[in-house]
Structure 1
């Protein structure tokens, strides 16, 4: 699978190029266009993303998110996973798996589902972001604070702590409302420039 982006960072579109028999998972309503012969398989039980498979000779599929912003292909090498903000995944190959539950996120959110998902494997996970993506590179022992509404993803090797901005104010681990994430380097944190 190859990912080519265009119209970024404002109105990103991802072209997913597939070899013969190769597949990608995406929401049906994000399909802008595709080469003839791409086969769509409905999701099981009628919920969730569909599977798009290339015919003999391969093909392509163009995906556009429902909101404006950047398209960011996140490379997985099989050695480390990434924690990704819920709702950011535009397309996923079968070689990148969603780990649910993932123990570190369960510990972070106290057993609730939270506003993050964990992914691992190999290949490219295609993310749809609101606004341009910034990669914040942290040096060893450097600490930064990120608001959940701007978070896109971070590698699972980065140290992170979830805390309330104001313990007396309303908070939600499902949406990130009233919360902040403290990250300690070394590592990279991906954020989006709009919420």
Structure 2
């Protein structure tokens, strides 16, 4: 899969260019249009809504997807040597060469047995992330650390050291959404931060 973006950085659209017979998984609600002949399995009507699977015809094809909120679309590349921890709901596309794992073993110290607000993505290929607002990239040197509100976190490399803590230990907290929590991230690693909140603040 190749990705071509347009209307960036404010109202981004990502075109997923597929080889003949290639498939990609994407949120059906993020789809704008496809080239004629692309097969769409929406995954609906099976007890719950699931991501759609788009399959290109024999001549290849494309799928246009876009974030639900104004902002950018960031193309994230994977070379198979390391992965990224991505905010749940931020992925616009997942080709068959990548794997998303919300139950990744290194999330257990953060979330316990629950599926939290992150998922681990690994493999070889590209994915597209929906960025609410603009994108900031922070390169952390070994031992350098920052604190990020989970609502503004888009992704971080899985080489990054992470600690989760409460804003107010007596206040409401949610491991599933990150509300009421803060993330301490230490290098070496890269952190992607979105400048606007895709969801309301806790208590809003």
Assess same fold via TM > 0.5: yes
Asked if 2 retains the 8 angstrom alpha-carbon contact of 1:133 and 1:192, the reply is yes
Is 1:194 matched up with 2:157? no
Q: Secondary structure at the match of 2:109?
A: helix
Distance 2:105 2:50 in 1: 23
Is 1:33 matched up with 2:33? yes
RMSD: 1.3
The partner residue of 2:152 within 150, 153, 176 is 150
Distance 1:21 1:28 in 2: 19
Cα offset, 1:145, TM superposition: 0.5
Asked if 2 retains the 8 angstrom alpha-carbon contact of 1:106 and 1:113, the reply is no
1:65-104 to 2 correspondences below 5 Å? 65-104=67-106
Distance 1:64 1:152 in 2: 16
Distance 2:191 2:8 in 1: 20
In structure 2, runs of 5+ residues without a counterpart are 198-204
Is 1:14 matched up with 2:14? yes
Asked if 1 retains the 8 angstrom alpha-carbon contact of 2:102 and 2:115, the reply is no
Scaled by the length of structure 2, the TM-score of the pair is: 0.91
Cα offset, 1:190, TM superposition: 0.4
Scaled by the length of structure 1, the TM-score of the pair is: 0.95
Distance 1:29 1:77 in 2: 28
Distance 1:12 1:156 in 2: 26
Distance 2:187 2:108 in 1: 22
The partner residue of 1:182 within 177, 181, 184 is 184
Asked if 1 retains the 8 angstrom alpha-carbon contact of 2:13 and 2:65, the reply is yes
Look up the match of 2:200.
none
Distance 2:191 2:73 in 1: 16
Look up the match of 1:57.
59
Name the count of aligned residue pairs: 195
In structure 1, runs of 5+ residues without a counterpart are none
The one-character-per-residue Cα deviations of 1:10-36 (angstroms, maximum 9, x if unpaired) are 111000111111111112222212111
Q: Secondary structure at the match of 2:70?
A: coil
Q: Name the stretch that deviates more: 121-130 or 34-43.
A: 34-43
Distance 1:169 1:56 in 2: 55
Look up the match of 1:135.
137
Cα offset, 1:40, TM superposition: 0.9
